[in-house]
Amino acid sequence: MYLHRYAQLFSSLLPLGGAAIPPSYTIDIHSHIIPDFYREAMINSGYELRNESVLWADGTPIPEWTIQEHLSSMDANGIDYSVLSISAPGVAFLHGNPIAVDLSRRVNEYMHNLTLLHPKRLGAFCLLPLPNVEASLVEIDYCIDKLNFAGVGLFTNHDGHYLGDAHLDPILERLHERNIPVFVHPTVPKCWHTVSHGIVPPMLEFPFDTTRAIVNLFFSGARKRFSNFTMVFCHGGGVLPYLADRVATLSAIPRFGGFDRKEAETQFRSYHFDLASATSVSQLAALKEFVGVDKLLVGTDFPFVPGPRGKAFIQGFQEDGVFTDQEVRRIKHGNVLGILPRVKAKIGA
Ligand SMILES: *[C@@H]1O[C@H](CO)[C@@H](O)[C@H](O)[C@H]1NC(C)=O
Ligand SMILES: *[C@@H]1O[C@H](CO)[C@@H](O)[C@H](O)[C@H]1NC(C)=O
Ligand SMILES: *[C@@H]1O[C@H](CO)[C@@H](O)[C@H](O)[C@H]1NC(C)=O
């Protein structure tokens, strides 16, 4: 009994979540499944196949995916655990109709099955049939209470409804009341046809949309009202670290809103960011200064970023000389275990 208590105390004092976790243990918070039935739903709703078999959605080619390749890519890249999600466009292309509701449920049960088959390797973020708010509230509770998911996946906008728009307040309210961790993936803005000029949207529109959602959460006051949950944004926060000061400064001008500049900065720095496609020395240095090491997480963006390039991200942030070995360890697993208690429980940390 005494020993047991001592062990508990000791593990609670360890910053990395317990002696069982080796230093290299790596958790990927950003990787995607693309099951066949989901791909078929996209094709059925009118997304085109180019060159006979390559599916394109909103200006972006959708790669082939199998769980076998997913797991072998994890092995090849030294990733011990992945939290799965659906990438853009989610199910927003179905506008919250009954097919969207059924498709989200099927995707969530499919991910649940994978987490049961590979309990020490895979977790999941819940897919919601937004912009259908009522059905999404049901899905949040189902994923959290019945499927034991790590958290909920959202997009920067859902069929044009941005995080921070009043339409989505009931969703944020539920996440706030239940303290549910959220992973926010970017998607295209409605205007992408007119602005992208043939440049694939993930290159510019995704990081811009991430920034737009974060700024909208501030201007709408939504994040201030619903702050009782962790939010992870992708790709180093888009262009936020670079623009945060400009936004905060301008927002304080009375005719631009008259907001509290310090409050804007504090809120922008409260988010977590993954490092998928954000591991250049300048990005890492900006992120380290802007949010600090404790808010940074590993993300590969598999299979949109194929295995070898994902590996380069993971090597990149370790070898760029921006972080110490201790800091690399926090980024690899310490930080994420601090915000995803269910992952921590499942891997026995
Ligand atoms: C179209 O498919 C053919 C056969 O698979 C391939 O050789 C060709 O490179 C593809 N073209 C494009 C533009 O992807
Ligand atoms: C999940 O697994 C159960 C049991 O094997 C199966 O009946 C169900 O069809 C699976 N669901 C999905 C969406 O794959
Ligand atoms: C924050 O979440 C916890 C856990 O669900 C809950 O007990 C608490 O009431 C929440 N706080 C607020 C202000 O809603």
For residues 155 and 52, the model is more confident at: 155
184-230 tens-digit pLDDT? 999 999 999 999 999 999 999 999 999 999 999 999 999 999 999 99
CA within 13 Å, CB half, 162: 20
Classify residue 47: in a domain, yes or no.
Answer: yes
List the CATH number of the domain containing 208. Answer: 3.20.20.140
326 Cβ closer than 6 Å to some ligand 3 atom: no
Classify residue 230: in a domain, yes or no.
Answer: yes
Report the alpha-carbon distance of residue 84 to residue 298 in Å, rounded. 13
341 Cβ closer than 6 Å to some ligand 3 atom: no
Tokens of residue 71, six digits: 């797991």
Helices (H) and strands (E) in the chain, counts: 16, 13
CB 345 within 8 A of CB 119: no
Query: What band does 52 get if pLDDT is binned at 50, 70 and 90?
Result: confident
Ramachandran region of residue 90, left (φ > 0), alpha (ψ -120 to 50) or beta?
left
pLDDT at 125 over 50: yes
- If one counts the domains in the chain, the total is 1
Classify residue 212: in a domain, yes or no.
Answer: yes
Classify residue 14: in a domain, yes or no.
Answer: no
227 Cβ closer than 6 Å to some ligand 3 atom: no
pLDDT at 13 over 50: no
- Report pLDDT for 320: 87
Classify residue 66: in a domain, yes or no.
Answer: yes
Average pLDDT in the 314-326 region? Answer: 92
Mean of the per-residue pLDDT values of the chain? 94
pLDDT at 101 over 50: yes
pLDDT at 41 over 70: yes
Whole-number Å distance, alpha carbon 42 to ligand 1 midpoint, is: 21
Residue to mutate (ligand 3; options 152, 175, 224, 228; most atoms within 8 A of CB): 228
Tokens of residue 165, six digits: 């728009």
Classify residue 21: in a domain, yes or no.
Answer: no
Classify residue 15: in a domain, yes or no.
Answer: no
Query: What band does 161 get if pLDDT is binned at 50, 70 and 90?
Result: very high
Classify residue 19: in a domain, yes or no.
Answer: no
CB 337 within 8 A of CB 68: no
Residue ID of nearest Cα to ligand 2 atom 3: 113
Report the alpha-carbon distance of residue 290 to residue 294 in Å, rounded. 11
- Report pLDDT for 19: 56
For residue 270, the enclosing domain spans: 26-346
Index of the ligand 3 atom closest to the CA of residue 176:
14
Whole-number Å distance, alpha carbon 226 to ligand 2 midpoint, is: 35
Burial of 79 (0-12, 13-18, 19+ CB in 10 A): buried
